[in-house]
Copies of this chain bind each other. A is one copy, B any other.
Amino acid sequence: MPTMADVARKADVSIMTVSRVINNTGYVKAATRQRVLQAMQEVGYEPKSAAGPLVQTSTLVLVVPDITNPFFTFIARGMEDVARKHGFRMLLANTDESLEKEREYMQMCLDYRIAGVLIVPVGDPSVANLRLLEQHHIPFVLIDRDVEGIDTDLVKGDMRPTSTQLVEHLIELGHRRIAAVVGPLHNAASRERLDGYKDALTRHGIPIRDDMIFQASMTRDMDVSFVEALFSAAKPPTAMFVSNMFQYAHIVRALHHLGIRVPDDVSIVSFGNTDDLASVDSILTAAVQPTYNFGSLGAQLLLERIDGVRKMSTRIVLNSEIVFRASTAPPRP
């Protein structure tokens, strides 16, 4: 079945222009409109009724759980570069890790006849929200977080082996009491980080202790009260594995209040932002994920779906890179 993309190619205009002609929104020159209508006839494209099933528009939406986290806005950058090359506009929506907001934005994608969605879902409970897109045949690609029960395209990082590598770096420096701080476990990426941490300990014969594993929010409002309890214990950890920049920043601040120094008293490793500029004077040893490519490759997959050229789901897992800095050192004798 011919698509809007075919019409655009034939008429030598952008998909956005084809959309404007079909949906009668926005100004299109009379001559261009004529060319588009003729191209529609030539390729045999039949727009669906606006009242009935959805009519494609030339807008893509990226749904992220935390707009203030540069990790996610870099995904936007990558997505936008690809989207624009193909004549699509892009909008960003923020769910704040809330299933209710996520559902509202899914509804909005239906209301606005969005062509396709890239989404970093809240987690496994997002399945009901994603079904809404499925039911209305709006193509979507999962980014960063897998969702149980959803079979669709996915682009994410290699969380588990990278977590193992980060923790093994601490073990190689001589650390044995290593605490882990992970995000909510309804989020597959948090589970993968925890599994990677456990893999490292197991591989080196270090017992896994529940009192060294903490769950915390990954947003800027996280509660770090556990840090004080952890470091008042008889045998506090000599190293910590944390999940993102917000957790790192909050924990460093809490440690500072307790008079505990990094790396002298405790070493820290974390997943970091892609933003090499923001971290220009950071001391953090961090795993950096290619989030720009999460967006650019995700957009590629999405456009293939919109064009209907691929039916099978594709899963892309991208490697991380570990940047070694001053936050890690051998434990004190």
Residues of A within 8 A of B (CB): 16, 20, 23, 25-27, 59, 61, 67-68, 70, 73-74, 76-77, 80, 84, 89-94, 96, 101, 104-105, 107-108, 110-112, 220, 245-246, 248-250, 252-253, 275, 277-278, 280-284
Contacts and interface: CB of A to CB of B under 8 A. Distances in A.
Contacts of A101: 84
Task: Pick from A67, A77, A248, A282 the residue with the most CB of B within 10 Å.
Answer: A67
Contacts of A27: 107
B59 A68 contact: no
A67 B73 contact: yes
B104 A92 contact: no
Nearest to A69: B73
A91 B93 contact: yes
Contact of A76 (B67, B89, B108): B67
B67 A92 contact: yes
Contacts of A76: 67-68, 94
B73 A77 contact: no
A27 B90 CA distance: 25
Nearest to A283: B281
**3 tightest CB-CB pairs across the interface, nearest first?**
A249-B277, A92-B92, A249-B280
B89 A105 contact: yes
Contacts of A275: 68
A101 to B, nearest CB: 8
B277 A220 contact: yes
Contacts of A26: 107, 110-111
Nearest to A326: B281
A70 B111 CA distance: 29
Contacts of A61: 91
